[in-house]
């Protein structure tokens, strides 16, 4: 499948490497592509030059990555998602599955804080759907560390991943990627994109669990 | 143990009946105690007269219930918690374990919405601790339906309950109640009262799960 990833931080790189390993035809989207950008140190991640050498995946500007994909993945931070997707171009998102894995978090304070404008009465997922009404937005993969997201088998026991969105076929496409490419056994459909609010706000609990456990190699199972 | 419950809705009644059944010496606190109040219909719950006849537990004004307890349980809604606890009296809370099980939710809109003033940068648990600095606040039992809270064995599989608070001994007291009286096998200590923010914001996800599952008889397990 042709996939365009928007955002080349640790999340975009991890997803991209995992999807490339499954034979998808990818582009990893960054704001600007030039020599300096390819060698720039990236927090917790590889330089783009090292990553592209390792994966064989081409790095491209946001708009080219989005134009390439049948499925677009928003792997930017929640606070900059709309801006990044605007650079990617509404025309490159229209009619396509837009998998939004971002969270409305502010790390600038040293502790994790939710961005007030993107919580409570809304969410990044809902705002992305509003800003790009022709994109078929699916919220998913935002409730675990991305290492677990692309390899849930690393957790010893079945855990759940959630999907939310207004387009049933788009949710099916994402569910297929989750199950076939990443090995998720249990995908819970929470309903429309309004449910993004719940999965995004869960991160406040997730972060405390992360601090207590000491790493991100965990997930949650809904037991009933 | 002497326990005072603040709030006589379905949550306070369910907790009170469960704790009375374990031999605790309880008072169920309401704003006003008079004949009309005893027979007033209560949403999803019994009249106080029927409840007290069934459980043998005395109904008392907030302040008398708080004065009675060594452990106080806040079973009011998050939006009225500080007001109700002020009526209960700071002097009746000082030095005592205050188990806060409330959530900052607004049900008035028909869908579940978090109260903005009590989320993101704070939580009910944190605000209660600030308002009553001498109370030893423990946040717990706010992440499941109260029916599961007092009887986790109704869920087929191990699930977790969380505690958060600044006073280690107070968390131990609450953990003992959770394990011995309600049968919780797994109690996760999330750290200081700041973690109340995470468990309260989880309710936005909980509510979607509740809608999809169709009842509250579920819980979550942190798998690692």
The CATH number of whichever domain residue B39 belongs to comes to: 3.40.50.720
Amino acid A114: pLDDT:
80
DSSP A94: T
Q: How big is the CA angle at A17 (ends A23 and A75), to the nearest 5 degrees?
A: 115
Instruction: Examine the pLDDT at A107 and tell me if it is beyond 80.
Output: no
Instruction: Examine the pLDDT at A18 and tell me if it is beyond 90.
Output: yes
Q: Quote the CA–CA distance of B181 and B137 in Å, as a whole number.
A: 19
Q: Is the dihedral of CA B175, B178, B179, B180 positive or negative?
A: positive
Residues of chain B with Cβ-Cβ distance to A124 below 8 Å are: none
Q: What is the pLDDT of residues A114-128, one digit of tens each?
A: 888 888 889 999 999
Residue A92, in any domain of the structure: yes
CB contact under 8 A, B221 and A220: yes
The minimal CB distance from B208 to the residues A119, A120, A190 is found for A190
Residue A104, in any domain of the structure: yes
Residue B123: count of CB within 10 angstroms of its CB: 30
As given in the structure block, the two tokens for residue A88 are 């990617």
pLDDT confidence bin for A111, thresholds 50/70/90: low
Instruction: Examine the pLDDT at A140 and tell me if it is beyond 80.
Output: yes
Question: How many Cα atoms sit within 13 Å of A68 on the Cβ side?
Answer: 22
Nearest-CA distance from A216 to chain B in Å?
A: 9
Instruction: Give the domain extent around B87.
Output: 2-213
CB contact under 8 A, A198 and B220: no
Alpha carbon A21 to its chain's center: 17
Amino acid A96: pLDDT:
98
Nearest-CA distance from B111 to chain A in Å?
A: 11
Q: What is the mean pLDDT of residues B5-31?
A: 97
Alpha carbon A221 to its chain's center: 20
Nearest-CA distance from A23 to chain B in Å?
A: 29
Nearest to B93 by CA among B101, B105, B84: B84
CB contact under 8 A, A201 and B114: yes
Chain B residues with CB-CB distance to A under 8 A? Answer: 113-114, 116, 119-121, 155-159, 162, 164, 188-191, 195, 197-199, 201-202, 204-209, 211-213, 217-224
Q: What is the mean pLDDT of residues B143-167?
A: 98
The minimal CB distance from A204 to the residues B157, B201, B217 is found for B201
Q: What is the mean pLDDT of residues A52-77?
A: 98
The contacts of residue B37 (CB under 8 Å, 6+ apart) are B30, B48
Residue A219, in any domain of the structure: no
CB contact under 8 A, B198 and A205: yes
Q: What is the mean pLDDT of residues B29-37?
A: 96
Residue B219, in any domain of the structure: no
Nearest-CA distance from B101 to chain A in Å?
A: 16
Q: Looking at chain A, which residue has its C-alpha nearest residue B194?
A: A208
Please give, one letter per residue, the 3-state secondary structure of A106-171: ECCCCCCEECHHHCCCCCHHHHHHHHCCCCEEEEECCCCCHHHHCCHHHCCCCCEEEEEECCHHHH
Amino acid B115: pLDDT:
86
Nearest to A84 by CA among A111, A69, A66: A66
Q: Looking at chain B, which residue has its C-alpha nearest residue A211?
A: B190
Amino acid B160: pLDDT:
98
Amino acid A99: pLDDT:
98
Nearest to A60 by CA among A33, A91, A24: A33
Amino acid A110: pLDDT:
62
pTM of the predicted protein model: 0.96
Residue B189, in any domain of the structure: yes
Instruction: Examine the pLDDT at B70 and tell me if it is beyond 80.
Output: yes
CB contact under 8 A, B209 and A188: yes
Within chain B, residue ranges assigned H as helices are: 10-21, 35-39, 48-55, 62-68, 81-88, 90-93, 124-131, 146-149, 168-176, 196-201, 203-213
Chain A interface mutation, best of B208, B209, B214, highest count of A Cβ atoms under 10 Å? B208
Nearest-CA distance from B72 to chain A in Å?
A: 25
Among A55-64, A74-83, A102-111, B125-134, which stretch is predicted with the lowest mean pLDDT? A102-111
Between B35 and B108, the more confident residue is: B35
CB contact under 8 A, B219 and A223: yes
Amino acid B137: pLDDT:
98
Residue A222, in any domain of the structure: no
Chain mean pLDDT for chain A: 96
CB contact under 8 A, A204 and B197: yes
The minimal CB distance from A113 to the residues B121, B204, B208 is found for B121
Q: Quote the CA–CA distance of A172 and A163 in Å, as a whole number.
A: 9
Residue A78, in any domain of the structure: yes
Residue B221, in any domain of the structure: no
Nearest-CA distance from A187 to chain B in Å?
A: 13
Q: Looking at chain B, which residue has its C-alpha nearest residue A198?
A: B205
Number of domains in chain A: 1
Amino acid A47: pLDDT:
97
Between A65 and B105, the more confident residue is: A65
The answer to whether ipTM exceeds 0.90 is yes
Q: Is the dihedral of CA B160, B164, B169, B174 positive or negative?
A: negative
């Amino acid at each position: 499948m042709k996939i365009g990833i928007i955002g080349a931080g640790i999340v975009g790189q991890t997803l991209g490497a995992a999807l490339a390993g499954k034979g998808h035809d990818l582009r990893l989207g960054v704001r600007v592509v030039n020599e300096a950008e390819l060698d720039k140190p990236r927090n917790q991640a590889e330089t783009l030059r090292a990553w592209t050498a390792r994966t064989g995946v081409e790095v491209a500007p946001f708009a080219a990555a989005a134009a390439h994909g049948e499925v677009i993945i928003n792997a930017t931070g929640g606070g900059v998602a709309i801006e990044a997707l605007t650079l990617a171009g509404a025309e490159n998102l229209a009619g396509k599955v837009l998998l939004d894995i971002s969270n409305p978090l502010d790390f600038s304070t040293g502790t994790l804080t939710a961005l007030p404008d993107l919580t409570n009465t809304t969410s990044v997922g809902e705002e992305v759907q509003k800003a790009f009404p022709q994109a078929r937005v699916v919220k998913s993969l935002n409730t675990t560390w991305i290492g677990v997201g692309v390899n849930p088998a690393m957790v010893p026991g079945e855990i759940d991943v959630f999907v939310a969105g207004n387009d049933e076929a788009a949710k099916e496409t994402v569910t297929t990627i989750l199950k076939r490419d990443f090995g998720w056994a249990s995908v819970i459909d929470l309903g429309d994109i309004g449910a993004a609010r719940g999965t995004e706000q869960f991160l406040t609990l997730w972060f405390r669990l992360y601090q207590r456990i000491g790493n991100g190699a965990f997930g949650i199972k809904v037991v009933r």
